[in-house]
Amino acid sequence: MQEYYNYIKALHLIFVITWFAGLFYIPRLFIYQIEAFQKPSPDREILGDQLKLMAKRLWYIITWPSAILATTFAICLLILRPGILNDSWMHVKLGFVVLLFVYHLKSHQIFKQLQEGIIKWTSNQMRLWNEGATIILFAVIFLVIIRDAVNWIYGVIGILLLAVLLMMGIKFYKRIRDKNPNA
């Protein structure tokens, strides 16, 4: 089975990428759904129905299967190389994976609410939510590449700075949109 390690690793990475693609796009669809809900009829119904369909297909055809397959291949990798679980960086990475699943499950809850026409978030709140997967991705990639606990302090500072920059970018974009709604 060891000779298949690199193939399994490649499949794991492919499905991690498609999982993140789904997690990056689904909040955008949520934003559009929330904004469509504020439009007058018949635009609200036409856009709402189309966006619900798009979200449903993305969520059940790409995002959920990718999450399951990425996790399955990750478990296979851990079975093939159990010693890696002794590395401290792997413990931190698995912590971020747990956080990613929490993000995924909360996104699923939002998805279900929007499918039922229940709007609990503003489009601006959803724009902030959209950055959660980005922050987790940055943290995991840097952790896997660097693997050094001492540099992890700098990594945490970097992630916090990234989060601040993302929030500033969202606020800046909101100002532009408020001045020019077609931006």
Q: What is the pLDDT of residues 15-26, one digit of tens each?
A: 999 999 999 999
pLDDT band at 153 (very low <50, low <70, confident <90, very high): low
pLDDT band at 98 (very low <50, low <70, confident <90, very high): very high
Residue 120 annotated as binding site:
no
CA dihedral 43, 39, 55, 31 (to 10 degrees): 150
Checking if the pLDDT of 152 tops 70, the result is no
Rounded distance between C-alpha atoms, residue 102 and residue 139, angstroms: 15
In this prediction, residue 183 carries a pLDDT of 63
Average pLDDT over the chain, rounded to whole? 90
In terms of residue numbers, what domain contains 143?
Answer: 2-179
In this prediction, residue 177 carries a pLDDT of 77
Checking if the pLDDT of 149 tops 60, the result is no
In this prediction, residue 138 carries a pLDDT of 85
pLDDT band at 85 (very low <50, low <70, confident <90, very high): very high
Given a contact cutoff of 8 angstroms between Cβ atoms, the answer to whether 104 and 48 are in contact is: no
Q: What is the pLDDT of residues 58-79, one digit of tens each?
A: 999 999 999 999 999 999 999 9
Given a contact cutoff of 8 angstroms between Cβ atoms, the answer to whether 163 and 112 are in contact is: no
Checking if the pLDDT of 178 tops 90, the result is no
Checking if the pLDDT of 34 tops 70, the result is yes
pTM: 0.84
The DSSP letter of residue 1 is: -
Residue 91 annotated as binding site:
no
Cβ-proximal residues to 97 (8 Å cutoff; 6+ apart), any chain: 74, 140
Number of domains in the chain: 1
Q: Which of 26, 168, 13 is nearest to 106 (CA)?
A: 26
Given a contact cutoff of 8 angstroms between Cβ atoms, the answer to whether 89 and 148 are in contact is: yes
Residue with tokens 């709402």, as numbered in its chain: 48
Given a contact cutoff of 8 angstroms between Cβ atoms, the answer to whether 56 and 22 are in contact is: no
The DSSP letter of residue 39 is: S
